[in-house]
A and B are shown apart, each in its own frame.
Chain A
Amino acid sequence: MRGRVAVGGAAGPAPVIFTTDPLSLWGGFDPHSGLVIDAHHPLLGVSLSGRIVVMPAGRGSSTSSAILLESVRARTAPAAFVFQRIDPVFAIGALVAEKLYGRTVPMVIVENEQDFSAFAAAAEASWDEGGDISVR
């Protein structure tokens, strides 16, 4: 499967967390524990640290970028994100992380519905710099 590498380069292999419910990082993710804290979200209590988080898009607060940067600083960030549509709020957090800390959270875009859905059953995923994705 191919995707468009939006931020960073290669990612994984890392365990996959798949959700069809977009998550706001502000009010949704604790950058100090790495856990989902959104009381309305099905992943409540799940750790995203070191995982490849797969969701259609971002949601809610424009402070999600600051939370993502904080998690990079605290080394609790997800390993990478897979989106169907690029979320500019998440992207700016990852770009600033690259500039400030020299490390980031790679983001790849998989628009195709069927390809995207393939992540639902995946245990692990990775991709190279060209966006060649493998899921297992």
Chain B
Amino acid sequence: MRRGEAGPAVQFALEVLLRMAELTDATSFVPIASAHVDGCLYEGDAVVDFVDHLTALGAKVAVPTTLNAISVELSQWRAQGVPTRFGDQAVRIVDGYLAMGARPSFSCAPYAMGHTPAFGQHVAWGESNAIAYANSVLGARTDRYGDFLDILAAIAGRVPYQGLHQTERRRGELRFVLADDVDTSDEALYPLVGYAIGLLSGGRIPVVEGLPADARPDDLKALLAAAASSGAVALAHLVGLTPEAPDVITACQGEPPSSVTHLSAARLAEVRQALSTKTDGQVDAVALGSPHFSVGEFRELAHLVRGRRMASQVRLLITTSQFMRDRAQEEGLLDPIRAFGGEIIADTCVLLSPLLPQHVRTVMTNSGKYAHYIPSLLQKDVVFGSLAECVAAAESGHVRGGFL
């Protein structure tokens, strides 16, 4: 097969996959059930070169393949003031992947749209939050695939059998215990715990005890996205909540964890502070939806904003998938949010697309991932807070250090 009988694109993919197998000491390949491609972002012309190269080779995906959030909202980018060359290059990448047979899912939360591999199934997923969710919550098996390897795996239909594909490599190594003094009713608990374990895990697999038994999928999504931003967390065992962690011993595969860390209220307060670059003053924008907002989150937001009106100088951007925006629309959740002043953006997010104008200096968010990346990628100040605090800031146009 390597000699090219399957076509030049498969040959190209296999050559790279074989190099990755060598690097990771894998001795065999394993077939995959699906792929989620993160390499569809316009991060520069090198990505366009890569997609053009695959297109010229006649590449086609061999397994069901979803596409991550992309760099523009396809139907709206010109109206949103996205520069023409940026938009054109972003669309060219997307068209290339669609021509290879990928699905137009355009979301970093494919797992919320019914693209859910079964427990134990091998997949090749890219995008750090999607990887962590697939491994941790679904119990599917994917390694931390970087952009390019995701689509190459989709073309080849297989990956080197190594890393998190192997049972023994999924063993919990670091034990974290939520201390008694932590307020578990605080909805910001999940991104804060996630961010804390990401900082302390250094690429090893965390096991977290003490999270509320009624944590919702959206809570786990927030926790894992934050952990995959502050660290290289691709799998976290959440005791009593995720399928490979009915208890600590099972999550650690019978071996003792190499360390135990207590997450106290004081430590989480430190993390909360570290996630904000300022705590007082004017807020120019509120960004929600990293990972992409779910119907459950739209419900919560619609409930919070009903009958209220945000300050006219503030922008409220909620990023989601077309799929989820349609579901929210059917449920009548978007009207109250729009009446409040919110704008719903599909396909992309504020980190990928130039949606926030220059004059926006301070952005508030309830997402640990947005809070982590906004200062670096957008050179703006960020204030982290709960969803209710974000709504209050949108309404008043400012935050006070008091609630942080």
Q: A: which residues have CB within 8 A of B?
A: 6-7, 22, 26-28, 31-32, 37-40, 56-67, 69-70, 72-74, 85-93, 95-96, 99-100
Contact = CB atoms under 8 A, between A and B. Distances in A.
B305 interface: no
B280 interface: no
B23 A66 contact: no
Contacts of A37: 376-377
A99 B12 contact: yes
B127 interface: yes
B41 A63 contact: yes
Interface string B116-151: 000000000011100100000000000111111110
A72 B44 CA distance: 11
B142 to A, nearest CB: 11
A67 to B, nearest CB: 6
Contact of B228 (A38, A60, A65): A60
Interface in B47-63: 47, 49-50, 53
A18 B233 CA distance: 23
Contacts of A86: 23-24
B38 interface: yes
Nearest to A28: B376
Contacts of B50: 69, 96, 100
B373 interface: yes
Nearest to A73: B46
A96 B44 contact: no
A89 B23 CA distance: 12
Nearest to A31: B44
A122 to B, nearest CB: 22
B203 A67 contact: no
B47 A100 contact: no
B20 A96 contact: no
Interface of B: 12, 15-16, 19-20, 23-24, 38-39, 41, 43-47, 49-50, 53, 126-128, 131, 143-150, 163, 202-203, 228-232, 274, 277, 351, 372-373, 375-377
Contact of B277 (A26, A39, A67, A73): A39
B55 to A, nearest CB: 13
Given A31-B44, A66-B41, A66-B43, A88 B146 contact: yes
B376 A7 contact: no
B154 to A, nearest CB: 14
Contacts of B146: 62-66, 88-93
A37 B375 CA distance: 9
Report, nearest first, the 3 A-B pairs whose CB atoms are least far apart: A89-B146, A65-B146, A70-B44
A65 B44 contact: no
Given A7-B23, A88-B146, A66 B376 contact: no
Given A72-B46, A73-B44, A85-B203, A63 B147 contact: yes
Contacts of B377: 27, 37
Given A59-B231, A88-B143, A100-B53, A65 B277 contact: no
Contact of A88 (B23, B127, B128, B375): B23
Contacts of A88: 20, 23-24, 143-146, 149, 163
Contact of A60 (B24, B41, B128, B274): B128
B46 A69 contact: yes
B163 to A, nearest CB: 7
Contacts of B143: 88
A60 B24 CA distance: 19
A95 B232 contact: no
Contacts of A74: 44, 46
A27 B376 contact: yes
A93 B41 CA distance: 14
B376 A70 contact: no
Contacts of B147: 62-63, 65-66, 89, 92-93
A64 B24 CA distance: 18
A72 B15 CA distance: 20
Given A22-B202, A62-B127, A70 B145 contact: no
B202 A91 contact: no
Given A28-B376, A40-B372, A56-B202, A22 B43 contact: no
Contacts of A62: 38, 126-128, 131, 144-147, 150
Given A63-B43, A73-B44, 20 more contacts: A27-B351, A59-B231, A62-B127, A62-B128, A62-B144, A63-B127, A63-B147, A65-B147, A66-B46, A69-B47, A86-B23, A87-B232, A88-B23, A89-B144, A89-B147, A92-B146, A92-B147, A93-B146, A93-B148, A100-B49
A61 B24 contact: no
